[in-house]
């Protein structure tokens, strides 16, 4: 029996190793695909990555040779590692900038950003919406309740005010913040949305967050339709069933 258990343990370890290897291979494939897509759209990507790579090597090696700090055989590998790191940082930032640029102004973009936030955020999309796909999303975090609106300001602001009033009746003294996504004065750009939410003060703990989510579920049951999974392409229209749902909920 002990021998059988040992064989099972070896098989489990081998399976886990194979899974890790497959996952690592898939990540490398995804990175390579993202690089190919980005370099075709971003003509500055390769020059910037090359400059960062070579610049890092020069910054490490040249002063070392001038001031006789260590052997070139020691300095060059350090410079190469630093250069690779800087090149990857530039690649990641350029990809992120490109993604946010394409999503900017598209219905569902703010919902997509909120759903991809890291940390103990509790997100409910489209708790209020219009037939034009303007929407208000509710986020529960350590700051309290954050209502995030996206769409035309003249339609979203009344939605935000209405939702804040409804939410305030249930949450008592818990702070309720309003955020309008956009590039005009008083608005938060899509690319800065996560950063803006992270800068809000910590007013409640995790236990209170869970309690609030339970309280607000009934409120959420009267919410608008689900937003699209990610930003809609330009020219895409809301499906008829979704339009009818919004009309019923907003009438």
pTM above threshold 0.85: no
Q: What value does the mean pLDDT take over residues 158-163? A: 94
Query: Is residue 233 pLDDT above 60, yes or no?
Result: no
Tokens read off for 129: 């919406």
Tens of pLDDT, residue by residue over 99-158, are: 878 777 788 889 888 988 888 899 999 999 988 889 999 999 999 999 999 999 999 999
Label each residue of 161-196 as H, E or C. HHHHHHHHHHHCCCCEEEEEECCCCCCECHHHHHHH
Kind plus residue range of the DSSP H or E element containing 123: strand 122-129
Tens of pLDDT, residue by residue over 35-90, are: 888 888 889 999 999 999 999 999 988 888 787 776 777 888 999 999 999 999 99
DSSP state letter for 203: -
Query: Is residue 238 pLDDT above 80, yes or no?
Result: no
Tokens 């989510």 correspond to what residue?
Answer: 213
Q: What is the pLDDT of residue 145?
A: 95
Query: Is residue 179 pLDDT above 90, yes or no?
Result: yes
Distance CA 29, CA 209 (A): 38
DSSP-assigned states of every residue in 27-72: HHHHHHHHHHHHHHH-TTHHHHHHHHHHHHHHHHHHHHHHTT-S-H
Strand partners, 141: 144
Query: Is residue 204 pLDDT above 50, yes or no?
Result: yes
What size, in residues, is the chain? Answer: 251
Q: CA distances (Å), 20 to each of 12, 14, 28, 48, 179, in order?
A: 12, 10, 12, 32, 40
Beta 144-150 vs 135-141: how paired, if at all? Answer: antiparallel
Q: What is the pLDDT of residue 17?
A: 84
Query: Is residue 200 pLDDT above 60, yes or no?
Result: yes
Handedness of CA 37, 40, 45, 50 (dihedral sign): positive
Q: What is the pLDDT of residue 187?
A: 94
* All structural domains of the chain with their residue ranges: 2-103, 109-227+239-250
**If pLDDT is split at 50, 70 and 90, which confidence band does 160 have?**
very high
Query: Is residue 182 pLDDT above 70, yes or no?
Result: yes
* Coil/strand/helix, residue 86: helix
Distance CA 98, CA 104 (A): 10
Distance CA 166, CA 203 (A): 20
């Amino acid at each position: 029996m002990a021998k059988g258990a040992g064989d099972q343990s070896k098989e489990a370890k081998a399976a886990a190793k194979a899974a890790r290897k497959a996952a690592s291979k898939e990540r490398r494939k995804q990175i390579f695909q993202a690089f190919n897509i980005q370099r075709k759209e971003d003509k500055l990507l390769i020059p910037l990555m090359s400059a960062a790579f070579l610049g890092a090597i020069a910054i490490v090696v040249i002063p070392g040779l001038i001031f006789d700090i260590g052997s070139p055989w020691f300095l060059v590998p350090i410079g190469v590692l630093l250069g690779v790191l800087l090149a990857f940082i530039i690649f990641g930032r350029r990809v992120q900038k490109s993604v946010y640029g394409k999503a900017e102004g598209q219905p569902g973009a703010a919902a997509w950003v909120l759903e991809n936030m890291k940390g103990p955020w509790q997100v409910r999309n489209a708790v209020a919406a219009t037939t034009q796909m303007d929407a208000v999303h509710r986020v529960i975090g350590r700051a309290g309740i954050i209502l995030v609106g996206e769409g035309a300001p003249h339609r979203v602001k009344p939605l935000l005010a209405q939702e804040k009033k409804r939410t305030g009746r249930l949450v008592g003294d818990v702070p309720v913040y309003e955020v309008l996504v956009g590039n005009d004065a008083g608005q938060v750009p899509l690319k800065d949305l996560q950063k803006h939410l992270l800068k809000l003060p910590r007013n409640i703990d995790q236990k209170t967050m869970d309690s609030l989510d339970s309280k607000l579920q009934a409120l959420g049951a009267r919410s608008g339709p689900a937003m699209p999974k990610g930003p809609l392409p330009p020219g895409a229209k809301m499906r008829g069933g979704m339009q009818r749902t919004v009309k019923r909920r907003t009438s």
